[in-house]
Amino acid sequence: MRLGGRVDTSQIEDRRGSGRGLAVGGGGLGIVGLILALVFGLSGGGGNDLNQILRQLQPDAGAAQGNAQPLHCSQGASESTACFVTAVVNDVQATWTKIFQHQGRNYRDTKLVLYTQATPTRGCGEANSAVGPFYCPGDEKVYLDLGFFQELRNRFGAPGDFAQAYVIAHEFGHHVQNLIGTMQRVDRVRRQDRSQDNPLSVRLELQADCYAGIWAHESAVQPDPQDFKEALDAAASVGDDRLQKQAGQRVNQDTWTHGSSAERMHWFQTGAQSGNVSDCNTFANGAVP
């Protein structure tokens, strides 16, 4: 994966090392913890709001301080993981700015928050390493503990810089959904029919995978075949069916929140091959257009 040019650190909030971290044994539960929390919370009939689940995972919400520190990156983008992430964020947002302009829309830049172990959000409880990377619509920010990338490589068998880039592009795909109103429409349907929580969550996540593919197609990075393999491996590694098996659970599609490995790979490939946003309508046969 080739990244170059000047890195714009203004799109990053670096909160690493600020405040009191959350003590989580074994390096954190990562994305498995999030899936299991959602599985048990949603199937139990109560606490099926993601914000509430995040608060349950971190009962001492608000303890961490969200003081951002300056992030310094030189001309090169690969000297550190943080600067690599910054370069990817820059490229993802520049790509979506261009796509929105072609559609007659205005893309609104947001920020990725780097933190260690735990940090507060506005509207989504407290971010912590137990839940992996996520987008908070309340403050329109993406949250990432860089330790997740080690977990992605070692625990889920998805190494490579483009695997990391896929994760970032997926989360910014949720920002795109928020900007164009998809999240709001989904929330309205959810409030009317709570039985649609899981199916709609899956459709949102698969669309974010497709949007990650759109970025790969349109990006100035010009990914090569090995890059795409790394992204597909990452998509497969966080499929609900694979995560349930890895956690020793019975595969139960009714509790899925992100989609199967095959579905996640399919929708990333759909976006990457076509580059057409209209091809990412994972709601074609669902309740939300």
DSSP state of 28: -
Report the 10 Å Cβ neighbour count for 51: 15
Query: Which residue's structure tokens are 């349950």?
Result: 56
In sequence order, what are the beta bridge partners of 144? 114
| Single-letter amino acid code for the residue at 226 | Q
Contact, 251 vs 239, CB < 8 A?
A: no
Q: Which of 277, 203, 202, 266 is nearest to 232 (CA)?
A: 266
What is the domain extent for residue 236?
9-280
pLDDT at 157: 86
**Gyration radius (Cα) of the chain, Å:** 18
**Quick check: is 187 in a domain?**
yes
Cα dist from 249 to 7, 29, 34, 40, 244, whole Å: 43, 15, 14, 11, 5
DSSP state of 69: B
**Quick check: is 1 in a domain?**
no
**Quick check: is 3 in a domain?**
no
Higher pLDDT, 75 or 85: 85
Phi, psi of 114 (to 5 degrees): -90, 130
**Quick check: is 286 in a domain?**
no
**Quick check: is 4 in a domain?**
no
Q: How far apart are the first and last CA of the chain?
A: 34
DSSP state of 225: H
pLDDT at 36: 37
What CA–CA distance (Å, rounded) separates 70 from 81? 15
Quickly state the pLDDT bin for 63 (edges 50, 70, 90).
very low
Phi, psi of 280 (to 5 degrees): -100, 20
DSSP state of 127: E
Report the 10 Å Cβ neighbour count for 156: 21
Phi, psi of 195 (to 5 degrees): -65, -15
Q: What is the pLDDT of residues 221-272, one digit of tens each?
A: 888 888 889 998 899 888 888 788 878 888 887 778 899 999 999 999 999 9
| pTM for this prediction | 0.81
**Quick check: is 47 in a domain?**
yes
Q: What is the pLDDT of residues 106-162, one digit of tens each?
A: 999 999 999 999 999 998 999 988 888 999 999 999 999 999 999 889 888 888 999
Contact, 110 vs 51, CB < 8 A?
A: no
SS3 157: coil
* Number of domains into which the chain is organized: 1
What CA–CA distance (Å, rounded) separates 132 from 224? 27
Q: What is the pLDDT of residues 166-187, one digit of tens each?
A: 999 999 999 999 999 999 999 9
What CA–CA distance (Å, rounded) separates 96 from 39? 32
**Quick check: is 104 in a domain?**
yes
List the single range of 1-5, 78-82, 194-198 with lowest mean pLDDT: 1-5
Cα dist from 37 to 153, 154, 179, 235, whole Å: 22, 22, 27, 20
CA dihedral of 249, 253, 259, 263, whole degrees rounded to 10:
110
Report whether pLDDT(24) > 50.
no
**Quick check: is 82 in a domain?**
yes
